[in-house]
Amino acid sequence: MSRIRLLLVDDQALFREGLRTLLELREDLEVVGEATNGEEALFMAARLRPQVVLMDLRMPVLDGVEATRRLRESHPECKVIALTTFDDDETVFDGLRAGAVGYLLKDAPSDTLVEAIRATARGESFLHPSIAKKVLAEFTRLSNRSAAQSALDEPLSEREREILALIGGGLSNKEIAGRLFLAEGTVKNHITNILGKLEVRDRTQAALKARELGLI
């Protein structure tokens, strides 16, 4: 039986050692190397050709997000599972956008981790339940926004959506101009266009309608 070749990438030696011990109890898994940062991971992946890389996202020298992005470009056959302590939205989506096909928290049960490794080696994706909920919520939000844009006779431009979000945040024209490095007159012109496209009379109604439509 061929074993799944694994590379462990984490700056904490005790965590790597514990992970290696746990994984090598499984007959179908083989840890072929360990790296302490993203830069080492890229070097070792080129030399050892692992099938699955367990990648911490927050490390010195080169973080796991950038290492994942580079690894997916140089060795697309290597599948990356992001294995981290954090499940905040920014970290989650940065890791997935970089090319991770799995995302697990470090406190996940060992059986779940092994299941994720096997699924990833088969070419499937695997997300921790709390991460899957975030991804689904983001997908729903983007789908709703797209549907709302389609419902408008004339869709909002990217700049108009940006300004609309700031209006929803309670910023004045002057504050919006400062935030976006625009002339105040330019902001006023954009807001006039926004009101027309949303078919409302003022900024407050624009913010309310935008929220109803899921645009902000």
Instruction: List the CATH number of the domain containing 37.
Output: 3.40.50.2300
Model pLDDT, residue 133: 59
Shared-domain flag, residues 94 and 45: yes
The CA distances from residue 94 to 12, 108, 206, in Å, are 21, 20, 31
Q: Which domain holds residue 166?
A: 152-213
Instruction: List the CATH number of the domain containing 203.
Output: 1.10.10.10
Number of domains making up the chain = 2
User: 144 versus 87: which is more confidently predicted?
Assistant: 87
User: 14 versus 125: which is more confidently predicted?
Assistant: 14
Does residue 142 fall inside a structural domain?
no
Shared-domain flag, residues 129 and 64: yes
Model pLDDT, residue 128: 66
The CA distances from residue 197 to 40, 143, 153, 187, in Å, are 52, 20, 7, 15
Model pLDDT, residue 48: 95
Contact 120, 151 (CB under 8 A): no
Does residue 156 fall inside a structural domain?
yes
Q: What is the DSSP letter of 31?
A: E
Contact 108, 128 (CB under 8 A): yes
List, for residues 161-192, the tens digit of each pLDDT value.
889 888 888 888 899 999 899 999 999 999 99
* pLDDT for residue 129 is more than 70: no
d(CA 46, CA 182): 47
CB atoms within 10 A of CB 19: 21
User: In the chain, which residue ranges form alpha helices assigned H by DSSP?
Assistant: 13-23, 38-48, 64-74, 89-98, 110-121, 129-151, 158-168, 173-180, 184-198, 203-213
Does residue 80 fall inside a structural domain?
yes
Shared-domain flag, residues 74 and 156: no
